[in-house]
Amino acid sequence: MKPASFDYAPVETLGAALSALSAQGAKPLAGGQSLAPTMNLRLVRPRVLVDVKALPGMREVTETAAGLRLGAAVTHAEIEDGAVPDVTCGFMAHVARGIAYRAVRNRGTIGGSLCHADPAADWPSCMVALGATMIAAGPGGERRIAARDWMRAPFVTALAPGEMLLAVEIPRLPPGSRWGYAKINRKVGEFASALGIALPGVMVAGAIEAPPALLHAIEGIPPLAAVAVTRAVAMRDA
Amino acid sequence: MQPKGLAEGVGAPVLRKEDGRFLRGRGRYVGDIAYPGMREVAFLRSPVAHGLIRSVTKPRGYEAQVFTWDDLTGVQPIRAPSALPGFRKSDQYPLAHGRVRQVGEPIAMVMAASRAEAEDIAELIELDIEELPAATDMLAHRAGPPIFDGWPDNVVLQALVDDDISDVQAPIVVRRSLRTARQHMAPMEGRGVVVRWDERLNQLEMHTSSQMVHVTKTGLAECLGLPEASVRIIAPDVGGGFGYKGILLQEEVAMGWLAQRLGGVALRWIEDRREALSGQANCREHHYDIAVHADHDGRILAIDCEAHVDSGAYSAYPFSACLEAAQIGSILPGPYIVPRFRCRTWSVATNKPPILPYRGVARTGVCYALETTLDAVARKAGISPVELRLRNLPGPEAMPYVNITKKIFDSGDYPEAMRRAAEAIDAAGFPARQAAARAEGRLIGLGFAVFCEQGAHGTSVYHGWGIPFVPGAEAAQARLTPDGGLEIRVGVQNHGQGMETTLAQVAHEMLGIPLSRIQIVHGDTAMTPYSTGTWGSRSAVMAGGAVGDACALLRERVLAIGAHLLQAEAVEYRDGAIHAGGASVTVAEIARVFHRAPQQLPPAMQTMSLEVTHGHKTERDTGTFSYAAHAVEAELDAATGQVKLLRYLIVEDGGVLLNPLVADGQVLGGTAQGIGTALYEEMPYDAAGQPLASTFVDYLLPGAGEVPDIEILHMETPSPISRFGQKGIGESGAIGPPAAIVNAINDAIAHLGREVTDIPATPERILAALA
Ligand SMILES: Cc1cc2nc3c(=O)[nH]c(=O)nc-3n(C[C@H](O)[C@H](O)[C@H](O)COP(=O)(O)OP(=O)(O)OC[C@H]3O[C@@H](n4cnc5c(N)ncnc54)[C@H](O)[C@@H]3O)c2cc1C
């Protein structure tokens, strides 16, 4: 199927982007790896696509003592390849490597993934586990949203209409930190049927058809998620 | 005929001639063909599984771009009646007429400058359909309500292989109810059509992604009321068929009608994945109630089976709605010595896409049903699955072996294939491996499947199965060009089988002309001899035999001319030249003289054409029987229900291999598809007949990560009935995996008293079996 008719708006400044996004039916376009398929199926019919990939700051990477700020348009492949600094003891590169397959990773972005907010996706759960912070921009300026408040429901984020994601701030894990990641899926490169994440002092269950869950104990979650978290913990503690 | 062992002849592992263009992305598929001013077509398809069409209203302003059945004057519906007695006929309209019977059934055809615009217009069509209850389950809805007016129930055909086995006294009787899921064949390239009316030739010229251009031509001419001379079908490169393209399409008929009215403007429709998945999941859905009776030693005494095939809504052209059920009744006994056999089959019409024969056809289901049940018999008899099979397979001394359903196994050593597979996978050491794994809390299992594949079976067999297009002899044309090159024209289609190479190897074997100078022409009704096309594992044997026969006749003529030119009586044909004593003349020189200097030849020789068309049949048309033993070691994750294939090994006897690399490629590709059938691929429908997978997110195909390294060991027992001793093996790989893999799974959990019965063996099914 072909998408319904739409306009394409390349923009050069954040201001132009935000004003374009204020129009009815406008939607940001990042890597297009989730948006384009849904448009082709005519499940979404944006009137105008505002291409935000090339906006200033969107591909910027800044390392500080506290951590790393990743522009929203940094790709999965760049994280996989170590083209951005590693502040998570290899955790994010490992996760990136398991997302889809290379062609998708070359185009797909961390910001696009977070904004798509598919509960079965990898980054939304990882950001909760890492205690990341989303930097959003809107007509009223910038604001910070904690990762655990980000996904409100499957495919629904905390972004207000007209807002967009600029960057993600990822706190640095202490050097030598151990982590565990268990993605249970049917085949290589598929979305997860269950995600388990174990970082120092943190457990998260993902892909539970609801926003990712920060856990104190492995209970009250679907059985497969419990398997995933148990395996992640075992990997971390091995 | 014994192959001579030439470097480019039969049996040589030469690289495929066609791969150069494929690997460089220079293949040419229907989607690559364009004409100036070409229009794009989209189809409005039924959103419901069953309903009465109250009205279809064309959007205002677009009346001339939208077509429904009422517009298609002079067009006949597609009819594929089986000749089997009792078959209930149905008409498949190119565009729905009065009633829709499956999601995805085309209702209206829309033409526009681009596909996107055509889809926009299609969205504007107002459809008023009164939904009817859908028949979605072959067991629950066999009795009705009938989906065709005038039918008492939904049985397309009931058949019985009648043997009253009530007198069989068996100490071991194992009964199983087993189900195989409905699948979609998913070739890399979907279907596609580019068609236009050629005013000069007074001919409809259609490019379509087909595995049987001549059959399509005949069917299309019939539906459109055109003489066959006014239809030309061209299949350029075809990116996979597997049975999905062995069909006359509703889209072809509807577009063929429209193209005749456009004065030469071309039309194009390229199927997209969503219309393929949601409207064309059309294969494999079987249900078996099977009982195997055996003695204490595990020797089979009788097989008793009631099987259902979900045939879907219509009888697809040309294979009909009943081919699979007819096959079940004749091939269920598999490769074994089965003294008694009773089998009742039902082909049931449902509100799903019409069934098509997918690689392996009914064999995949039949092998699954029998082989998993036999493992249960082995467990009950307390013998190993290997031993059980060895006790029931006919030995080489029994060949040719005529089994209970009168199948004639032409040659081979079936027990030896079983033994080699067991040895290569170290079946003897497996119990220790399994015990060690269990001690670590891991579940591993070993599974086998043995089967035979009838290939290249001809007139008598297919006549018996009732299909409306019975294959006869296969023809090939060999044409020596003035420069000494050779053109081979065949009516079969090469859509991944490597035939541009293997058929050239056959020609080289016969004539010694270098492979690089042999051109295989196929895929065009205007350029090739009539043929029923590529299917039924027939091309290597039938087209290979035909090329051999045509080249043998050509060779006689070349020899005669050569003898004249050398003025010799005793001549010898060697290395592409004719020799007499110390003198010789090359084939190229003979071709030059014949075509360009005929004055050198006596008149009788001048009229001896160097183009030979000849038909080939095998010595008996009951088919070649290749066979194989698949062996799998698998690990089961009891917490997630996931299966990992640790080792996959195949012992295959395809007779004399025309090219072992090509044979391996066929087996590997088929095995990947068989792994899909075993573990991944399934098209579920809800109670309303809505397909629940419409993209590859939901319809899982195995990828590189899911297919292990597959080890293939060859046996090469020549077939006594084919030209070079070759056998058909094109479907083989896709037959064994579900049985072998599920046997491995069941072996891993047998100590828990558990078994998997339905495929694909998804994590959910495995967890349910373990629960
Ligand atoms: C075959 C396949 C397999 C996949 N497998 C996985 C997997 O295993 N795990 C996984 O996590 N993902 C997977 N994905 C999804 C992939 O990671 C996508 O890249 C990602 O979900 C979306 O990123 P994108 O940059 O392509 O965003 P787009 O598709 O361009 O956009 C996605 C959505 O986010 C919005 N958006 C994008 N950028 C912004 C922004 N800056 N501000 C506000 N809104 C924005 C868009 O409007 C759209 O609604 C898979 C995709 C495919 C095609």
Task: Output the domain CATH number for residue A114.
Answer: 3.30.465.10
Helices and strands: H and E segment counts in chain A: 8, 14
The DSSP element (H or E) to which A223 belongs, if any, is helix A223-237
Residues of chain A in contact with residue B702, where contact means CB-CB under 8 angstroms, are 187
Residue of B768, B702, B766 lying closest to B737 (CA atoms): B702
- Give me the mean pLDDT over the B380-391 stretch: 98
User: Is A13 a domain residue?
Assistant: no
The answer to whether residue B541 sits within a structural domain is: yes
pLDDT at B84 over 90: no
Nearest-5° Cα angle at B218, B66 to B208: 55
Instruction: For residue A75, name the pLDDT band (cuts at 50, 70, 90).
Output: very high
pLDDT-above-70 percentage for chain A: 100
pLDDT of residue A214: 97
Cross-strand pairs, B100: B51
The answer to whether B119 contacts A189, with C-beta atoms less than 8 Å apart, is: no
Confidence of residue B162 (pLDDT cuts 50, 70, 90): confident
B39 and B195 Cβ atoms separated by less than 8 Å: no
Contacts of residue A218, Cβ cutoff 8 Å, sequence gap at least 6? A203, A226, A229, A230, A233
Rounded-to-integer distance, Cα B154 and Cα A112, Å: 50
- Residue A12 located in a structural domain: no
Does residue B536 carry a pLDDT above 90? no
Q: Are residues B516 and B628 in the same domain?
A: no
- Contact present, B99 and B312 (Cβ < 8 Å): no
Cβ(B363)–Cβ(B274) below 8 Å: no
Residue B555's CB is within 10 A of a number of other CB atoms, namely: 18
In chain B, the percentage of residues whose pLDDT exceeds 70 is 100
| Residue indicated by tokens 């759960």 | A125
Split at pLDDT 50, 70, 90, the class of A51 is very high
Rounded Cα gap, residues B492 and B511, in angstroms:
21
For residue B308, being part of any structural domain is answered with no
Kindly state the tokens that stand for B438.
Answer: 């269990």
pLDDT digits (tens, 9 = 90+) for B608-626: 999 999 999 998 999 999 9
Task: Write out pLDDT tens, residues B706-749.
Answer: 999 999 999 999 999 999 999 999 999 999 999 999 999 999 99
**In A26-179, which ranges are E strands?**
26-29, 48-51, 61-63, 67-71, 133-138, 141-146, 151-153, 156-157, 164-171
DSSP string of B185-202? ---SS--EEEEEEETTTT
pLDDT, one tens digit per residue, over A97-145 is 999 999 999 999 999 999 999 999 999 999 999 999 999 999 999 999 9
State whether B78 and B203 are in the same domain.
yes
- The overall average pLDDT reported for chain B is 96
pLDDT score for B169: 95
Q: With respect to residue A231, please indicate whether it lies within any of the assigned structural domains.
A: no
**CB of B124 less than 8 A from some CB of A:** no
- CATH classification of the domain holding B482: 3.30.365.10
Helices B499-511 and B539-566: crossing angle, nearest 10°?
30
Return the HEC string of B373-439: HHHHHHHHHCCCHHHHHHHHCCCHHHCCEECCCCCEECCCCHHHHHHHHHHHCCCCCHHHHHHHHHH
Of the candidates B592, B616, B640, which is a domain's last residue?
Answer: B616
For residues B244 and B273, give the distance between their C-alpha atoms in angstroms, rounded to a whole number. Answer: 13
How many C-beta atoms surround the C-beta of residue A11 within 10 A? 18
- CB burial class (10 A; 0-12, 13-18, 19+) of residue A66? exposed
Cα–Cα distance, B536 to B360 (Å, whole number): 8
How many cross-chain Cβ pairs, A to B, lie less than 8 Å apart? Answer: 43
Which helix (H) or strand (E) segment holds residue B478: the answer is strand B474-480
* Contact call for B704 and A188, based on CB within 8 A: yes
Helix axes B362-381, B737-749, angle to 10 degrees: 30
Residues B23 and B52 in one domain: no
Supply the range of the domain harboring residue B503.
19-28+473-616
To test the pocket of ligand 1, the residue of A53, A59, A94, A104 to mutate (highest count of ligand atoms within 8 Å of its CB) is A104
Q: Determine how many CB atoms are found less than 10 A away from the CB of residue A23.
A: 13
Closest ligand 1 atom number to CA of residue A115: 34
Each residue's pLDDT tens digit, B90-102: 999 999 999 999 9
Q: Going edge to edge, which strands form the sheet with A202-206?
A: A180-184, A194-199, A202-206, A213-215
Q: Is A218 on the interface with B (CB under 8 A)?
A: no
Structural domain including A138 reads 57-217
Interatomic CA distance for residues B582 and B599, integer angstroms: 25
One DSSP character per residue, A2-28 reads -PPP-EEEE-SSHHHHHHHHTSTTEEE
CB contact under 8 A, A186 and B680: yes
What is d(CA B563, CA B557) in angstroms, rounded to the nearest whole number?
10
Structure tokens at B562: 């050569």
Residues B488 and B603 in one domain: yes
The per-residue pLDDT for range A163-192, each reduced to its tens digit, is 999 999 999 999 999 999 999 999 998 999
| CA separation for the pair B37, B268 (Å, rounded) | 11
State how far the alpha carbon of B538 is from the alpha carbons of B186, B471, B650, in Å: 22, 10, 21
User: B609 in contact with A at a CB cutoff of 8 Å?
Assistant: no
Q: B44 has which bridge partners?
A: B108
| H helix or E strand, kind and range, residue B251 | helix B250-259
Q: Tell me what pLDDT residue B469 has.
A: 82
Whether residue B573 contacts residue B489, with contact meaning beta carbons closer than 8 Å, is answered with: no
Each residue's pLDDT tens digit, B620-662: 999 999 999 999 999 999 999 999 999 999 999 999 999 999 9
B248 three-class SS: coil
Residue B38 domain-assigned (yes or no): yes
Both B119 and B230 in a single domain?
Answer: yes
Q: What are the tokens at B640?
A: 């997630």
pLDDT at B1: 81
Report the SS3 class of residue B363. helix
Contacts of A188 in chain B (CB under 8 A): 703-706
Please state the pTM of the whole predicted model.
0.97
Query: Does residue A26 sit within a domain?
Result: no
Domain count, chain A: 1
**pLDDT, tens digit (0-9, with 9 covering 90-100), for B185-227:** 999 999 999 999 999 999 999 999 999 999 999 999 999 999 9
Residue A77 pLDDT greater than 90, yes or no = yes
Tell me chain B's radius of gyration from C-alpha atoms. Answer: 27
- The Å distance, Cα B680 to ligand 1 centre, comes to 25
Of A162, A170, A166, nearest to A143 by C-alpha is A166
Please state, in angstroms and rounded to a whole number, the distance separating the CA atoms of residues B703 and B758. Answer: 22
Say which DSSP state B87 is in: P
Chain B positions in Cβ-Cβ contact with residue A7 (cut-off 8 Å) = none
**B453 and B477 belong to one structural domain:** no
Tokens coding B309 = 């095939």
Q: Are residues B448 and B520 in the same domain?
A: no
Residue A149 counted as domain residue = yes
Last residue of a domain, one of B557, B590, B616: B616
pLDDT, residue B728, reads 96
Q: Half-sphere exposure of residue B4, counting CA atoms within 13 Å on the CB side?
A: 15
Query: What local confidence, expressed as pLDDT, does residue B431 receive?
Result: 97
Distance CA B412, CA B453 (A): 12
Please tell me the predicted confidence (pLDDT) of residue B460.
87
Question: In the block, which residue shows the tokens 């065949």?
Answer: B490
Residue A139 lies in a domain: yes
Query: Ligand 1 in contact with A164 (CB < 6 A)?
Result: yes
For residues B365 and B40, give the distance between their C-alpha atoms in angstroms, rounded to a whole number: 39
Judge whether residue B57 has pLDDT over 90. Answer: yes
Give pLDDT, residue A162: 94
- The two structure tokens encoding residue B280: 């064309």
Is residue B684 located within the same domain as residue B766? yes
Domain termination residue (choose one: B261, B279, B297): B279
Considering chain A, what is the average pLDDT of its residues? 97
Encode A168-181: b = buried (16+ Cβ within 10 Å), e = exposed. Answer: bbbebbeeeeebbb
pLDDT band at B400 (very low <50, low <70, confident <90, very high): very high
Instruction: Provide φ and ψ at B706, rounded to 5°.
Output: -100, -10
pLDDT of residue B324: 94
CA angle B606, B608, B612 (to 5 degrees): 145
Structure tokens of B148?
């065709």
**Cα separation of B376 and B369, whole Å?**
11
B415 preceded by a cis bond (ω within 30 of 0): no
Amino acid, res. A45: R
User: Distance (Å, rounded) from C-alpha B125 to C-alpha B127?
Assistant: 6
CA distances in angstroms from B199 to B204, B214, B219, B260, listed in the order given? 9, 21, 22, 10
Domain count along chain B? 3
- Type of residue numbered B355: I
Q: For residue B79, what are the β-bridge partners?
A: none
| Residue (of B512, B588, B514, B505) closest to B547 by Cα position | B505
Taking the CA of residue A34 as reference, the ligand 1 atom at the shortest distance is 29
Is residue B760 reached through a cis peptide bond, with omega within 30 degrees of 0 on the bond before it? yes
Q: Tell me if chain B has a CB within 8 Å of the CB of A190.
A: yes
Evaluate if residue B461 carries a pLDDT over 90.
no
Is residue A113 domain-resident? yes
Per-residue model confidence as pLDDT tens digits over B264-307: 999 999 999 999 999 999 999 999 999 999 999 999 999 999 99
Tokens encoding B393: 């397979």
Q: Is A34 touching ligand 1 by the criterion CB < 6 Å? A: yes
Residue B353 is predicted with a pLDDT of 98
Is the predicted pLDDT of residue B427 greater than 90, yes or no? Answer: yes
Are residues B671 and B629 both part of a single domain?
yes
- Determine the average pLDDT of the residues in B563-575: 94
Could you tell me the two tokens for B521? Answer: 């022409």
Determine, for residues A2 and B700 on separate chains, whether the beta-carbon distance falls below 8 Å. Answer: no
- Are A187 and B115 within 8 A, CB to CB? no
Domain match, B572 and B648 both: no
In the 3-class helix/strand/coil scheme, how is A74-92 assigned residue by residue? CEHHHHHCCCCCCCCCCHH
Q: Is B716 helix (H, G, I), strand (E, B) or coil?
A: coil
* A117 alpha carbon – ligand 1 mean position (Å): 8
Give residue-wise pLDDT tens across range B674-695. Answer: 999 999 999 999 999 999 999 9
- The reply to whether B517 and B600 lie within a common domain is yes
Tell me the CATH number at B60. Answer: 3.90.1170.50
Task: Note whether residue A131 is domain-resident.
Answer: yes
**Cross-chain Cβ contact B274/A187 below 8 Å:** no
Assess if residue B526 is contained within a domain: yes
Residues, chain A, total?
238
Q: Are residues B93 and B226 in the same domain?
A: yes
Q: Are A88 and A79 in contact (CB under 8 A)?
A: no
